[in-house]
Chains A and B, each alone.
Chain A
Amino acid sequence: MTILTDPPKESFRLSMLIYDTRYRSLTFQAITAAVLALCIWYLGNNLIQNLRAAGLNIAFDFLGDPSGYDINQRLVEYDSQSTHARAALVGLLNTVLVAFLACVTATVFGVIAGVLRLSNNWLVSKLMAAYVEIFRNIPVLIWIIIIFTIMTAVLPGPRAFRGDDPASSMLFGSFAFTNRGIYTPMPWFESGFFASASLNWLVVLAGLVVSWIVSRRITAWATAKQEATGVRPKTMLPVLAVWLVPFLVLMLVMGLTWEIPALKGFNFQGGIKIGGPLIALWFALSIYTGAFIAENVRAGIQAISKGQTEAAAALGLRPRRVMNLVVLPQALRVIIPPLISQYLNITKNSSLAIAVGYADITATLGGITLNQTGRAIESVLLLMLFYLTASLLISFGMNLYNASVKLKER
Chain B
Amino acid sequence: MKKSVILGALTVAGLAAGAAAAGTLDDVKARGKLNCGVTTGLVGFAAPDANGNWDGFDVGVCRAVAAAVLGDPNAVEFVPTTGKTRFTALASGEIDMLARNTTWTFSRDVDLKFEFVGVNYYDGQGFMIPKELGVSSAKELDGATVCIQTGTTTELNLADFFRANNISYEPVPIETNAEAQQQFLAGACDVYTTDASGLAATRATFENPGDYAVLPEIISKEPLGPLVRHGDNEWGDVVRWTLNALIASEELGVTSANLEEMAKGTSNPEINRMMGTEGSLGEMLGLDADWAKRAIAAGGNYGELFAKNIGEETPVGLARGLNAQWKNGGLLYSPPFR
Q: Which residues of A contact B (CB under 8 A)?
A: 53-56, 68-72, 79-81, 149, 151-153, 156-160, 179-180, 264-267, 269, 276-277, 354-355, 357, 359, 363, 367-368, 370-372, 374, 376
Q: Are B171 and A371 in contact (CB under 8 A)?
A: no
Partner-contacting stretch, out of B81-89, B203-211, B318-326: B81-89
B113 within 8 Å of A (CB atoms) = yes
Find the A residue at minimum CB distance from B150: A368
Known: A152-B182, A267-B170, A357-B173. A69 touches B155 (CB 8 A): yes
Seed contacts A70-B158, A152-B183, A160-B187; 7 additional CB < 8 Å A-B pairs: A69-B155, A80-B160, A152-B186, A157-B187, A368-B150, A371-B152, A372-B155
Report which residue of A68, A266, A371 has the largest number of chain B beta carbons within 10 angstroms of its beta carbon: A266
A371 x B150 contact (CB < 8 A): yes
Of the A-B pairs whose beta carbons lie under 8 Å apart in the complex, a sample of 16, sorted by A's number, is A54-B91, A55-B113, A69-B156, A70-B162, A72-B170, A72-B171, A72-B172, A80-B159, A266-B141, A267-B143, A267-B144, A357-B175, A367-B173, A368-B151, A371-B151, A374-B111
Closest-CB distance, A327 to chain B (whole angstroms): 47
Closest A residue to B112 using CB positions: A374
Within 8 A of A (CB), among B136-161: 141-145, 150-152, 155-156, 158-160
Residue of B nearest to A355 (CB): B175
Q: Shortest Cβ distance from B174 into chain A, in angstroms? A: 5
| Residue pair B186, A55 in contact (C-beta under 8 Å) | no
Give the distance in Å from the alpha carbon of A151 to the alpha carbon of B163 in the complex: 30
A80 touches B163 (CB 8 A): yes
Determine whether the beta carbon of B145 is less than 8 Å from that of A266. Answer: yes
Contact with A along B163-186 (1 / 0, CB 8 A): 100000111111100000011001
**Minimal Cβ-Cβ distance residue in B for A56:** B113
Q: Which of B84, B132, B152, B174 has the most CB of A within 10 A?
A: B84
Min distance, Cβ A83 to any Cβ of chain B, angstroms: 14
Minimum C-beta distance from A271 to chain B (A): 14
Contacts of B175 in A (CB 8 A): 354-355, 357
How many chain B residues touch A (CB < 8 A): the figure is 44
Kindly list chain A residues whose C-beta atoms are within 8 Å of the C-beta of B152. 371
CB distance from A320 to the nearest CB of B (A): 47
The residues of A that contact B133 with a CB separation of less than 8 Å are 159, 266
Q: Which chain B residues lie closer than 8 Å to A71 at the CB level?
A: 171
The answer to whether B216 has its CB under 8 Å from any CB of chain A is no
A376 near B151 with CB under 8 A, answer no
A374 to B229, CA, bound (A): 14
Nearest opposing residue in chain A for B142, CB measure = A265
Q: Which residues of A contact B83 (CB under 8 A)?
A: 371
The smallest beta-carbon distance between A315 and chain B, in angstroms, is: 59
A269 surroundings in chain B (CB, below 8 A): 143
User: A157–B174 Cα gap in the complex (Å)?
Assistant: 18
Shortest distance from the beta carbon of B263 to any chain A beta carbon, whole Å: 40
CB nearest to A159 among chain B residues: B187
Q: In this assembly, does B190 line the interface, its C-beta being within 8 Å of a C-beta of chain A?
A: yes
Name A363's closest neighbour in chain B (CB-CB).
B173
7 nearest CB pairs, A to B: A157-B187, A371-B151, A80-B159, A265-B143, A266-B144, A152-B188, A68-B156
Please give, as numbers and ranges, the residues of chain B lying within 8 Å of A370 by CB-CB distance.
84
Interface assignment of B230: CB less than 8 Å from any CB of chain A: yes
Evaluate contact between B88 and A376: CB separation under 8 angstroms: yes
Please, which residue of chain A has its CB at the minimum distance from the CB of B153? A372
Q: Quick one: given A68-B160, A374-B112, are A180 and B145 in contact (CB under 8 Å)?
A: yes
In the complex, the chain B residue whose C-beta lies closest to that of A269 is B143
Interface status of B253 (Cβ within 8 A of chain A) = no
- CB contact between B84 and one of A55, A180, A357, A367 (< 8 Å): that residue: A367
Q: Is the CB of B171 within 8 A of A70?
A: yes
CB <8 Å contact, B190 and A266? yes
Which residues of the other chain, A, contact B112 by a CB distance below 8 angstroms?
A: 374
Is B231 in the interface zone, CB < 8 Å from A? yes
Which residues of B sit under 8 angstroms from A355, Cβ to Cβ?
Answer: 175
Bound together, the chains give a CA A371 to CA B102 distance in angstroms of: 13
For the complex, what is the distance from the CA of A269 to the CA of B144, rounded to whole Å? Answer: 11
Q: How far is the CA of A160 from the CA of B188 in the complex (A)?
A: 12
Q: Is the CB of A367 within 8 A of B143?
A: no
Q: Which chain A positions have C-beta within 8 A of B190?
A: 266
Q: How far is the CB of B5 from chain A (nearest CB, A)?
A: 18
Task: Given A180-B188, A368-B150, A374-B111, answer yes or no on A264-B132 (Cβ-Cβ < 8 Å).
Answer: no
